[in-house]
């Protein structure tokens, strides 16, 4: 049993080490590192309480004795200290996000947020929400209209959900959420992603739309982006029926959703991605991609490993980049950057093992060089992939920053329209 205790201690030590030094090089290792870093990093206190309880049981059973028992206990104490230090690092996100907003929008950007748009100021998750993060994904102040069909294609009913506050709204700003999950069936859906952001904005009077789209391996690019654009067209035509303003739409999404939200925002009215509805307006007012993928071809050699290349060739594009580089370029947001691009706020964690931080930086630099609109880049210390899926200290600070960006953008729109919010 002492050996079992030592194994527990070494496993805890690896969890902690992985928070600071995740695995980037190999696809399988990167995935393991992601899952561990995500669940441990954003749920540090849950792991600490569990490990301390198990350790006390070992101590009560007389297992922690002798050299190996003492060594295991020492390893655990060092590991716990490392987890606590990592947890405290989450508060760096507050300054990192604010600094990025000041750099991208100007030092007085907060003063530009109008008083009549119900901005609530910064709000962090409560202790109860932090203790039960998955239970906190439901808001009693938000009404959800589920599974509204916006398109029928290939025998599928493509659906969307609408979240809005329970008080009636008219002409409200719209958030358009695109889920991630490697563009692949059973890897992600509209039901579990972007919920903290949608709830927060819905409580502030926004109308939030979460969409579905065809997924691989059955779907082949550009099916995914075509469906996103069809959903956007539906929103522009129908969202007023639900209290939303079709003339102000902010698009967001994480991972594959970050890719698709960026691609949608940069390819407005692009006929290649709008077959049969080429004349529909697919412009948006802004984009907030979280840990997206921006260069499928990886022409700069900035991706960490070959995992993405394999998925794209086998399941998403169904052609290798050597055989069809133009298809890879067409699918890459970085190749659609142009002067009239809408404002962007790009979110990326510096410990993300699935998406290259270097690629994200390159995308942002390219966007800043060409676009005439504001570009905000928030690189978050210690953040793994999907760090924002449920409430945590780190995701709370980032959420506050995204809300400020959204309300600044909406204020700018309202000022240009010369109107006040209803």
Catalytic residues: 255, 352, 385
Radius of gyration of the chain (CA): 22
Q: Cα angle vertex 336, ends 335, 342, to 5°?
A: 140
SS3 content of the chain, % helix, strand, coil (to 5): 50, 15, 35
Q: In angstroms, what CA-CA distances link 223 with 74, 105, 363, 381?
A: 54, 35, 24, 35
Tell me if 305 sits within 8 A of 24, measured CB to CB: yes
**Alpha carbons 85 and 83: distance in angstroms, whole number:** 5
Element (H, E) at 149: strand 142-153
**Alpha carbons 117 and 237: distance in angstroms, whole number:** 24
Q: In angstroms, what CA-CA distances link 290 with 5, 28, 58, 252?
A: 39, 22, 42, 8
**Alpha carbons 69 and 311: distance in angstroms, whole number:** 45
**Alpha carbons 232 and 223: distance in angstroms, whole number:** 14
């Amino acid at each position: 049993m002492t050996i079992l205790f030592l194994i527990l201690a070494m496993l805890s030590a690896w969890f902690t080490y992985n928070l600071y030094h995740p695995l980037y090089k190999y696809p399988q290792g990167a995935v393991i590192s992601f899952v561990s870093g995500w669940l441990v990093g954003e749920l540090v206190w849950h792991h600490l309480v569990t490990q301390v309880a198990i350790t006390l049981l070992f101590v009560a059973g007389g297992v922690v004795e002798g050299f190996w028992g003492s060594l295991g206990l020492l390893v655990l104490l060092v590991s716990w200290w490392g987890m606590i230090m990592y947890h405290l690092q989450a508060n760096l996100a507050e300054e990192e996000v604010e600094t990025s907003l000041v750099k991208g929008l100007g030092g007085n950007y907060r003063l530009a947020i109008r008083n009549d748009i119900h901005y609530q100021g910064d709000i962090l998750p409560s202790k109860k929400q932090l203790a039960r993060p998955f239970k906190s994904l439901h808001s009693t102040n938000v009404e959800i209209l589920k599974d509204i069909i916006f398109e029928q294609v290939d025998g599928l009913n493509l659906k969307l959900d609408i979240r809005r506050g329970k008080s009636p709204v008219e002409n409200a700003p719209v958030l358009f959420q695109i889920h991630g999950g490697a563009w692949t069936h059973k890897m992600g859906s509209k039901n579990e992603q972007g919920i903290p952001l949608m709830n927060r904005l819905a409580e502030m009077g926004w109308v939030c739309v979460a969409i579905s789209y065809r997924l691989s391996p059955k779907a082949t690019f550009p099916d995914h982006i075509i469906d996103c654009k069809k959903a956007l067209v539906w929103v522009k035509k129908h969202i007023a029926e639900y209290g939303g303003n079709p003339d102000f739409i902010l698009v967001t999404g994480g991972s594959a959703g970050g890719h698709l939200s960026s691609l949608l925002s940069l390819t407005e009215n692009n006929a290649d991605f709008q077959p049969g509805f080429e004349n529909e307006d697919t412009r948006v007012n802004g984009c907030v991609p979280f840990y997206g993928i921006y260069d499928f071809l990886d022409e700069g050699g900035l991706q960490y490993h070959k995992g993405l290349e394999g998925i794209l060739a086998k399941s998403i594009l169904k052609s290798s980049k050597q055989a069809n580089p133009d298809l890879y370029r067409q699918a890459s947001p970085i190749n659609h950057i142009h002067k009239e691009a809408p404002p962007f706020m790009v979110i990326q964690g510096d410990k993300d093992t699935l998406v290259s931080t270097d690629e994200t930086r390159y995308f942002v630099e390219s966007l800043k060089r060409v676009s005439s609109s504001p570009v905000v880049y928030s690189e978050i210390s210690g953040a793994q992939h999907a760090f924002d899926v449920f409430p945590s200290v780190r995701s709370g600070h980032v959420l506050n920053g995204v809300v400020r960006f959204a309300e600044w953008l909406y204020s700018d729109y309202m000022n240009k329209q010369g109107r006040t919010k209803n």
